Amino acid sequence: MTSFTPTRRTLLKTGTAAAALATFAPAVLRQAVAQGADLAPYKSAKIDWQQTKGETITVAVIPASYFENLIALAPQFTELTGIDVRFEKIPPAQIRQKSVIDLTSKTGTYATHAADPMYYALYAANKWVEPLDTYLNDKSLTDTAWFNFDDIIPAWRSANGINGKLYGMPYDGEVTIQVYRKDLYDAKGLKAADTLETYVSNAAALNAPNDRVWGAALRGLAGAGQNMYIYPSIFRQFGGDWMKGGKLTVNGPEAEAALAWYVDLMRKYAPTAAANWNWPDIADAFSQGTIASYIDAHSSASVINNPQKSKIIGKVAYARWPKGPSGRRTTSIWNWGFPINAALSEKKKKATWLFIQWAASAETQARTAHRFAGPTKRSGVNRTSIWKDPDYIKLMNGFGPNFVEATMDALQHDTDVDWRPRVPQWPAIGDTMATAIQSALSGQATVKAALDDAQRRIEPMMRG
Amino acid sequence: MTARRLRAAVILAISAVFLLAWAFPIIWSVLNSFKTDSDVLAYPPKLIFSPTLGAYREVLFGSGSILPNLVSSMIISVGTTIVTMLMAIPAAYALARLRFHGKKFAGFYVLTTQMLPPVGIIIPYFLVLQTIGWIDTYQGIILIYLSFSLPFAIWLLVSYFEDIPLEMEEAAYLDGASRLRTLWRIIIPQVRGGIAVTVVFVFLNAWNEFLFAVVLSGNTVRPVTVAMFNFVSVEQTLWAKLAAVSVLAMLPVVVLGVVAQKQIVKGLTIGAVKGGGRR
C-alpha cells in the first residue's frame, strides 16, 4: 500500500458528512464550501454556465463512495451555475424501481439518476429520456473542445447508446478482471490464468477446503446484476451470440458449455455458500484469505485493500479475464450514467445537462478521484486521459501489481457492446436468466434443462 | 422414564430446535452489532470478543446518523396507528352491530382490499400522491398506510365486537344511554384486549413496512427500514453497522411486544375460545 489508504469508517464519515452537508446545509454553508474551490478550469469553457440560474434539480444516486465524492463537490457546481442540486441516495435495486416509476408516470421527480446501462433500451423505446447528442452538439450548452467527449472511455459510451445515439453520460464504471493471491500462486509456481481452462486448473491446485482456502469464487447470487453479471462474459468468451437469426437465443451449444464451466468451477472449487454470494461477499471472503482468486469488478480492489479488515494486503495481484475457447476476453462494460428525464421542462433539461456536463468533465472526474481531499479516491473514472495521468496511476498502483495494466487492457481490448442482450425487455430477461443460472448452480436442474426452460420463458417476452 | 416424561422431552427438544432457528438471526445481529468490522468477519465466528459500542456510536451519533430515520418511523407508525384506530373502532362496531343497507358488501369490500398485491398498486399510489404533492410527506405515507392498516384493523376488531353479549348493550339502552355513550362506556372497555392486539399489529405493520416506504418516501421522510439499506452499499456491506441499526430498529417492537404481551395473549385467547368467526 502506498498513498491509498481508505478505511471504512473514514469512508463512511466523509461520504455521509458530505451528503448531509449537500442535502441539508443552509446556503451560507454551501457558499463557504464553494468559495475555497477554484472555478477557473470550468469557466474556461465557452458556455454560459449561469444560463439556467435559479433552477433546482433532484438527482438520484446510489450509496457509493464515488457518488459521495461528487456530492461533496456539488456546492462548487451550485456556485458555478446557480443551480441547486438535491441528491437522493437510493439503494441499487430500488433506484431502478423508483426511476422507472418516475419515468412511466412522467412526473419528472428525478431530473437525472444513476442509470443502469442495460435499461437504456427500455428508456429509449419509450422515449422516457432524451438523446444526449442534441445537447452535446448545442454550442450554447456545450463547449465541445473543453468537454472533449471522445476522451470518455469508448466502451462505456457505446454501452450507453442505442442505435448510435447516446442516452446516458458515463460517470463511473468498471471492468471485470482477475484478482488473485500472488503469494499462494507463487508458492505453487502458478501464474495468473490466460485461459478459462488454466483458471480451473489453478483453482484445483489451490483448493484446500480443509485449510479453509478455496480455489476460486464468482458471483453466484441470483439477480440480473449478480450471476447475470458474470455469466454473460463467460457466454461471450465461449463464442455465444445472443441474437441468432434475429431471435434472442440463450440455450445454444455455446451457452451450455459456458454455463457448464461456471457450474463446474463453482461446485468444485468455490465455497458452497458462494452460490448465494454477491461481490461484496466475495471481497469479504477474499480479504479474510479464504479465496485464492476471483473474477469481478476492478473496483473491488479498494475493499480487499482496506487495512481495517483485510488480512491479505500486499499479497494480491491482478490480470485480465482469462480468454475463452473463442479466444475472446469479455469484460463487463458496466457504468453508472446520467440520462436526462424527458418529462422535464426545457429549462430544467438544460440545467440537468449542465449538471451532467459538469459531473462527467475531466476536471470534476479528477477532483473526485486522485485530487479528492477525502480518503476515498475513485477507481472508476470515465476519462482515458486520467487513466494516463501519472498521479492517478501511482495511486491506483497502490492496489497491487499489474492493477493499472490489467484494468487498462480490459478497458481497451476486452470490451464488448453485446456483453448482454441490449433489448427493452432486459429487466425481465435478466431475471429469468438469473433464476435459470441459479437452478443450475444449486443442482436443481441440469445445465441444459435450466437453459431450455429460460429460452421457453424468454420467447413470449420477446414477442410481447 | 415414563411415557409422559418422554413425550414432554421430545416436545421440548423440538421446540428448542424451532426456537433456535427463529432466534438465531436475532442473536447473530445482536452479537455482530457489538463487534468490530474485523471481528464480524473472523472465522470461526467469535462468541467471545471484546464488545465495542463503536457501531452504535457511529449509527446514532456519527455523520450518517439514523436518529432522524427512527423519528420518521415513529411519526409514521404512531400516526398510522392513531388514525387507523379512530376510524376502525366505529367502523368495526358498525359492521358488527348495526343493520344497514349494503352491510354484507361493505364487509366483503374491506376484506378484498387486503387481497391486492401491494406491488400492483404502488404506481397508482405514487401518481396520486405526486398529483396532490404528498410524495415524501408524513401525511402522504400515513394516508397510504391506512389503505392496508384500516381494513386489517376493522377485520380484526369486528370479531371482538361480535363477542360482546348483546344483552350488555341492551341493558345500557334501557338505562337511557345513547349509542355512542354505550360504545364508549360499555363496549370499548370490554374489547380492551382486542384493541390492544390491533394497536400492536397496526403499529408493527407500519413500523416494518418497506415496499411503499421506499417508493413514496424521499429525503425528508425516510423510515429506518429504508435508511438501513444504505449500509448495504454496492461496494461493501457494513455488517457491524447494519446489525446495530437492525437491533435499534427492533427495540421499539420488542418493547411494545413486552408491554402489550398480557393484552395480546388475552386478546388471542378470547378469539380462540369463542371461535373468532365473524357473523
More confident residue, A207 or B37: A207
pLDDT of residue B270: 57
Give the closest-approach CA distance of A17 to chain B in angstroms: 5
Q: Of A298, A296, A265, give the one whose Cα is nearest residue A281.
A: A296
Residues of A in contact with B62 (CB under 8 A): 12-13, 16
Domains of chain A by start residue, with CATH: 8-173+335-387 (3.40.190.10), 176-330+398-463 (3.40.190.10)
- Nearest by CB to B219, which of A63, A86, A280? A86
Which of helix, strand or coil describes residue A163? coil
SS3 A152: strand
How buried is residue A89: exposed, middle or buried, by Cβ count under 10 Å (0-12/13-18/19+)?
Answer: buried
pLDDT of residue B1: 59
3-state helix, strand, coil split of chain A in percent (to 5) is 50, 15, 35
Q: Residue B230: what are its φ and ψ, rounded to 5°? A: -70, -10
Q: Distance between CA A400 and CA A181 in Å, rounded?
A: 10
Which is nearest to A196 in space by CA: A235, A250, A241, A141?
A: A235
CA distance A440 to chain B (A): 25
Q: In this structure, what C-alpha cell is assigned to residue A415?
A: 470490451
Q: Give the pLDDT of residue B267.
A: 63
Strands (E), A156-273: 161-162, 165-166, 169-173, 176-181, 243-244, 247-248
Q: How does pLDDT run across A16-29, given as a tens digit for each residue? A: 333 333 343 344 44
ipTM of the complex: 0.74
Q: Which long-range contacts (CB under 8 A, 24 or more apart) does B20-23 make?
A: none
Contact A17 B63 (CB under 8 A): yes
Set of chain A residues whose Cβ sits within 8 Å of the Cβ of B41: 284, 287-288, 309
State residue A132 phi and psi, 5-degree precision.
Answer: -80, -15
* pLDDT exceeds 90 at position B2: no
| Å between B15 CA and nearest CA of chain A | 27
Spell out which residues of chain B touch residue A303, defining contact as CB-CB under 8 Å: 235-236
How, if at all, do strands A84-89 and A56-61 pair? parallel
Burial letters for A208-229: b for 16+ Cβ neighbours within 10 Å, e otherwise?
eeeeebbbbbbbbbbbbbbbbb
Q: Which of A90, A304, A376 should one mutate to test binding to chain B, selecting the residue with the greatest count of B CBs within 10 A? A: A90
Range with the poorest average pLDDT among A332-341, A420-429, B132-141, B163-172: B163-172
Predicted pLDDT at A29: 42
Q: Do A308 and B214 touch (CB under 8 A)?
A: no
Name the DSSP class of A333: -
Which among A83, A152, A79, A93 has a CA at the least distance from the CA of A338? A152
| In chain A, residues 294-313 whose CB comes closer than 8 Å to chain B | 299-300, 302-303, 308-309
pLDDT tens across the length of chain A (464 residues):
333 344 444 433 443 333 333 343 344 444 444 445 799 999 999 999 999 999 999 999 998 889 999 999 999 999 999 999 999 998 888 899 899 999 998 989 999 999 999 999 999 999 999 999 999 999 999 999 999 999 999 999 999 999 999 999 999 999 999 999 999 999 999 999 999 999 999 999 999 999 999 999 999 999 999 999 999 999 999 999 999 888 999 999 999 999 999 999 999 999 999 999 999 999 999 999 999 999 999 999 988 998 888 999 999 999 999 999 999 999 999 999 999 999 999 999 999 999 999 999 999 999 999 999 888 889 999 999 999 999 999 999 999 999 999 999 999 999 998 999 999 999 999 999 999 999 999 999 999 999 999 999 999 999 86
Residue reference for cell 451470440: A241
Residue of B nearest to A282 (CA): B236
Q: Do the Cβ atoms of B253 and B26 come closer than 8 Å?
A: no
Average pLDDT, chain B: 86
Inter-chain touch B229–A98, beta carbons under 8 Å: no
Would you call A88 helix, strand, or coil by DSSP? Answer: strand
Q: Are A391 and A135 in contact (CB under 8 A)?
A: no
- Rounded CA-CA distance A310/A7 in Å is 10
First to last CA, chain B: 48
d(CA A207, CA A215): 4
CATH architecture of the domain formed by B64-273: Orthogonal Bundle (1.10)
Helix (H, G, I), strand (E, B) or coil at A121: helix
The H or E element that residue A78 is part of is helix A65-81
| Positive or negative: CA dihedral B78, B79, B85, B88 | negative
Residue ranges covered by each domain of chain B: 64-273
Interchain contact, B37 vs A23, CB within 8 Å: no
> Strand, coil or helix: what is A290?
coil
At B275 the pLDDT is: 43
What distance lies between CA A321 and its chain's CA centroid? 16
Q: Cell numbers of B68, please?
A: 432522524
pLDDT tens-digit map of B108-129 = 887 787 788 888 888 889 889 9
**Matching residue, cell 483448493:** A207
Grid cell digits, residue B195 = 384493541
Q: What residues of A are in contact with residue B229 (Cβ under 8 Å)?
A: 91, 94
Using the predicted structure, report yes or no on whether residue B10 has a pLDDT greater than 80: yes
Cβ pair A230, A217 in contact under 8 A: no
